[in-house]
Each structure stands twice: as structure tokens, then as C-alpha cells.
Amino acid sequence: MGCTATDVITAVRAAAAVIQEHRDELVRLDQAIGDADHGENMKRGFTAVLARLEAEPPETPGKVLKLVATTLISTVGGAAGPLYGTAFLRAASAVGDTQELDCDRVAKALQAALDGVIARGKAAVGDKTMVDALTPAVAAAFRAEGTVAAALSAAADAAAEGANSTVPMVAHKGRASYLGERSAGHMDPGARSTALLLRSFADTAAKS
């Protein structure tokens, strides 16, 4: 069974609730190595996404993803807005005008999102960024077989491991890199929010 625009909208709404729930956690993570604004910025962005979805629900999965992208770019401050916006925009392009997403299309959308984040942020695995969560997530999604839920569940598990792997790392990108060795011992907030979103998407897909 494919994933329709309605399914994607449901997933985005659930993800917005997860971001709201974890807002303070993301703030604390960013207080340690950044500007302490990641949680609030993500909450503001997804709150704006909900308002736009309510006003005019898009009719294809790709258009839903594009709406998320443009809204995050225009409302989320710091590095997260451009990075997440680019990720969702590239995913939307990969999806195109298809009416339903299957396992393979979801994996390709995640790959496009990762490519966009790397192009925008110039980060690599090991730099202590969201790339450390998204890279293994993409690989896991491509290895998964069968349903969209299976692909997203595998991606979410891998992203969680990837986010945990950032704890001992020394940051080489963004505000955290200014701390040098002192950035070690803290999870990257962008990697954590990536893992949270993918887990939320997976949980929603499992219910449909």
C-alpha cells in the first residue's frame, strides 16, 4: 500500500507534535554546544507548517514536502532553516508528481534530502552534524524491503544510532566547532532532531 498526500500530511502533523514535545530537550542540547535556539526554531517552523497545511492541504506527497520546505526556510532561524528546508525541497523534487510513495521512492527521497544537506552545509560523516544521523538512515532505508513503514523504521533506528555516535565527536562544522575539544561529550542537536523526525514518520507509517 502506497503513501498518499493525506498520509504524508498526517505524518507531518505528528512530527510537529514530536518537535513540540522535545522542544526543551533540543534547547538543552543546543545550549551545550550552540546558540540554544534549535528547539524553539524547530517548534516555530513546524507550527507554521501546520497552519499552512490547514489553510490549503496539498494534493500530492511531493507538494506536501515542498510546502514543508518553503515554510521551514522562511520561518526557522539559524542553520536549521536552510538545511531542513533544502532537505525537504530535494526530497520533494525526488518524489515529483507521483500520487503514492512506495519503499523505493521513500529511500530515494531520503537520499535526495541527504545530498541537499551535504551540498548546503558542506559537512561529512564525523563532523558532528545532522549528516551523522541522516547518512546511516539513508543506507538503512535502501536495505529495507517491502513497505514504506519498513523503510522508515530501518531509517529511524539507524538515525538514532547515528545521533548517539555524535556524542564523543569533536565538531568541525557550525557554532559547535568554535568549542573545539569542548564540543565532545554532547549530542549534536541537529542529529537528534533528525532522528526524532524519522522515528515519528516511521511510527505514523506503521499505524496506516
For the segment 84-89, the average pLDDT, to the nearest whole number, is 98
Residue recorded with cell 502506497:
2
Instruction: Provide the pLDDT confidence category of residue 1 given band limits of 50, 70 and 90.
Output: low
Biggest alpha carbon distance in the chain?
48
Instruction: Provide the pLDDT confidence category of residue 166 given band limits of 50, 70 and 90.
Output: very high
Residues in contact with 17: Cβ distance below 8 Å, sequence separation at least 6, in sequence order: 200
Contact 20, 41 (CB under 8 A): no
Length of the chain: 208
Nearest to 88 by CA among 3, 186, 197, 208: 197
> Given this model, what pLDDT does residue 175 score?
81
pLDDT higher than threshold 90 for residue 77: no
pLDDT higher than threshold 70 for residue 155: yes
> Given this model, what pLDDT does residue 34 score?
87
Contact 83, 69 (CB under 8 A): no
* Average pLDDT score over the chain: 95
Helices (H), the chain: 5-21, 23-33, 38-55, 61-75, 80-95, 103-121, 131-143, 148-165, 189-207
Instruction: Provide the pLDDT confidence category of residue 83 given band limits of 50, 70 and 90.
Output: very high
Centroid of chain to Cα 111:
12
pLDDT higher than threshold 80 for residue 2: no
